[in-house]
Structure 1
Amino acid sequence: MSSPALHIGRWSQTGNVYAITTVTHARRGWFHDGANADLLVEALRTVERTGRTCSLAWVIMPDHLHWLIELRHGTLAGCMQILKSRSGRAIARRVDANAPIWQPGYYDHALRSDECLRAQAMYIAGNPVRAGLATYLGEYPHAWSRWPLQE
Structure 2
Amino acid sequence: MGHLSPIRRGHAALRRGRTSLPNQVYLVTFTTHLRQSVFTDDACACAMSRAVTDPRLWPSSELLAWVLMPDHWHGLLALGERDYLPSLVQRVKTNTARHVRQVDPTIERVWSKAYHDRALRAEDDIVVAARYVVMNPVRAGLVQRVGQYPYWNAIWL
TM-score normalised by length of structure 2: 0.85
Q: Deviations over 1:67-123 (max 9, x none)?
A: 000011211111111111111122122211252111002000000111000000001
In structure 2, which of residues 120, 139, 142 is the aligned counterpart of residue 133 of structure 1?
Answer: 142
Distance across 2 between alignment mates of 1:93 and 1:125: 26
> In the alignment, residue 45 of structure 2 is paired with which amino acid?
A
Q: Which residue of 2 aligns with 1:64?
A: 72
**Letter of the aligned partner of 2:128 in structure 1?**
A
Sequence identity percentage: 34
The structure number with the bigger radius of gyration is 2
Moved more, 23-32 or 40-49: 40-49
Instruction: Report how many aligned residue pairs link the two structures.
Output: 148
After the TM superposition, which segments of 4 or more aligned residues of structure 1 sit over 6 Å from their partners? none
Say if 2:68 is the partner of 1:45. Answer: no
Bigger drift between 14-23 and 85-94 goes to 85-94
Structure 1 residues 34 and 56: CA distance shift in structure 2, 3 A: same
Counterpart secondary structure, 2:89: helix
**Contact residue 47 and residue 103 of structure 2 kept, 8 A:** no
* Cα deviations by residue, 1:35-81 (Å, 9 ceiling, x for unpaired): 21222222222366541321110000000000000011211111111
TM-score for both structures, normalised by structure 1: 0.88
Cα separation, 2, equivalents of 1:55 and 1:81:
15
Name structure 1 gaps, 5 residues minimum: none
Q: CA RMSD in A?
A: 1.9
